[in-house]
Amino acid sequence: MNRAVRSRAGLVRAAVLLLLFVLLCPPAWAQSKGLLWKIDGPRPSYVFGTIHLSDPRVTDHPNVFWDAFRKTSTFAMEVVMDSAGLMEMGMAVLAGPQEKGWEERLSRDEYQKLQQAMQKRGYPPAFIPMLKPWVHAMLIAVPPRQLDSMQKSLPLDFLLQQRAVSQGKTVVGLEEMGEQVSVFERMSLPDQIQMLSAMVRYQENLEGLTEQLIAAYRDRDLAQLGRLMDEGLRMSGADRSYRDRLLLDRNRRMFERMLPLVQRGNAFIAVGAGHLVGEDGLLRLLERRGFRVQSVY
């Protein structure tokens, strides 16, 4: 494999991981602290809020967390990452004929800043036209140091998937890869470019925002985490329909698919922390169906 092909493969992999980072961390307003929640029943299950990063500050959790994980027999995550899913994602992030020449719609200043942002992440300007605008927006959303870490080690969700497989658990996905990608694919090209332009303008603020996100996650402060993620979405210029697709629509879909697992019991369900809270969050949806949930950690 020559250097250009390896670089392209690395770029696609980074785009896949960063897309999932954003999908797994939607905005929400939490009312209480906690990342791991027990769902009471004859065979209790657990729901856990993640952030899709490989930073040790995110992947390090106490024994009470790993004990709950170990004693369950089913592991559910937002989307199972297998070869078919990665291939589908890899095809989705590449620009097609309908996006040809999209970069020409950026101003000269925006394009220069995009080039600089990509170079900081190890990718030459020649790669810019190869990917769709929303993919670049996702790449810029994470500082170079965190991106580099994500390319070297498994993010938390996939670390859990790997451990679940090694422990012989049944592993299931609450969404299909195509359903996740559709959050972005349903954006018009002008809307994608508008999002990218906003991320280019605000990229200098993103490293500090990411550090604040990690601090809120370490403190298990879902309210603060939700506020920070909402701030990030405001920076991106996202409209209401995008937010609904990213959060509310996916909450309802994932809840209906996790419900049989919870009813059967003994499941460990890992979803983006932002999906847990709020009146339309998974914890509230569980309570409305008569389940009792309590914070464990």
Please indicate whether residue 17 or residue 260 has the higher confidence score (pLDDT): 260
Tell me the residue range of the domain where 137 lies. Answer: 3-295
Please indicate whether residue 253 or residue 245 has the higher confidence score (pLDDT): 253
The confidence score (pLDDT) of residue 247 equals: 82
Beta bridge partners of 221: 33
- What's the rounded Cα separation, in Å, for the pair 122 and 111? 17
Assess whether pLDDT exceeds 60 at residue 39: yes
Gap between the terminal Cα atoms of the chain: 46
Q: Which two tokens stand for residue 295?
A: 């914070």
Distance from the Cα of residue 30 to its chain's centroid: 18
Q: Which of 6-10, 169-173, 206-210 has the lowest mean pLDDT?
A: 6-10
Closest CA to 49 of 58, 41, 67: 58
3-state secondary structure of 273: helix
- What's the rounded Cα separation, in Å, for the pair 272 and 21? 9
Query: Once rounded to an integer, what is the mean pLDDT over residues 157-161?
Result: 94
- What's the rounded Cα separation, in Å, for the pair 156 and 177? 18
The confidence score (pLDDT) of residue 129 equals: 96
Calculate helix-pair angle for 189-202, 222-236, nearest 10 degrees: 110
Total of domains in the chain: 1
Query: Once rounded to an integer, what is the mean pLDDT over residues 177-182?
Result: 90
Beta bridge partners of 131: 94
- What's the rounded Cα separation, in Å, for the pair 284 and 69? 22
For residue range 44-83, list pLDDT tens digits in order.
999 999 988 899 999 999 999 999 999 999 999 999 988 8
Beta bridge partners of 294: 38
Please indicate whether residue 153 or residue 6 has the higher confidence score (pLDDT): 153
- What pTM, to 2 d.p., does this model score? 0.85
Mean pLDDT of the chain: 86
Closest CA to 52 of 21, 77, 22, 80: 21
Percent of the chain topping pLDDT 70 = 87
Assess whether pLDDT exceeds 90 at residue 244: no
3-state secondary structure of 88: helix
Percent of the chain topping pLDDT 90 = 55
The confidence score (pLDDT) of residue 61 equals: 95
Query: Once rounded to an integer, what is the mean pLDDT over residues 112-133?
Result: 92
